[in-house]
């Protein structure tokens, strides 16, 4: 019963946070485009999918792709792993930390126990 009452608030909180992430990423990409040289550090990372359903995994992939500077390339065959291209994370660890945070927040907003607290 509590989940039904709190889910709309969690979804609104997630969408507000995600809008901020889009703005921050867009700022990074725009700054890279408008200034001489490039601060891009392109990389491919494998993001293990935890919890959730195939629908949650598809939503996560779409959210990653909507964020400027990142792109979901697909699911690794036979594994619950997304292949993600990132342009502006300093290293693989930072990219995976940001992606895990997005995944946890999404699962929390959807009412999954693996989500962000």
Q: What is the mean pLDDT of each run of 10 residues along the chain (117 residues)?
A: 84 97 93 85 94 87 96 89 94 96 94 57
pTM over 0.95? The answer is no
d(CA 32, CA 116): 31
Roughly what angle, to the nearest 10 degrees, separates helices 92-110 and 54-66?
A: 130
pLDDT at 1: 61
Q: Give how far Cα 55 sits from Cα of 31, 60, 92, 113, Å.
A: 34, 9, 26, 16
User: What single-letter DSSP state applies at residue 87?
Assistant: S
Torsion, CA 23, CA 67, CA 59, CA 17, rounded to 10: -20
């Amino acid at each position: 019963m509590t989940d039904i009452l709190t889910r709309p608030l969690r979804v609104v909180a997630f969408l507000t946070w995600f809008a901020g992430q889009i703005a921050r990423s867009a700022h990074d990409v725009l700054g890279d485009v408008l200034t001489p040289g490039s601060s891009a550090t392109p990389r491919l990372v494998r993001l293990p999918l935890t919890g959730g359903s195939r629908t949650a995994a598809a939503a996560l992939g779409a959210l990653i792709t909507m964020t400027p500077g990142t792109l979901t390339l697909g699911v690794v065959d036979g594994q619950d792993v997304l292949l993600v291209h990132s342009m502006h994370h300093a290293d693989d660890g930072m990219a995976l930390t940001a992606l895990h945070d997005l995944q946890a927040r999404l699962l929390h907003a959807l009412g999954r126990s693996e989500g962000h607290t």
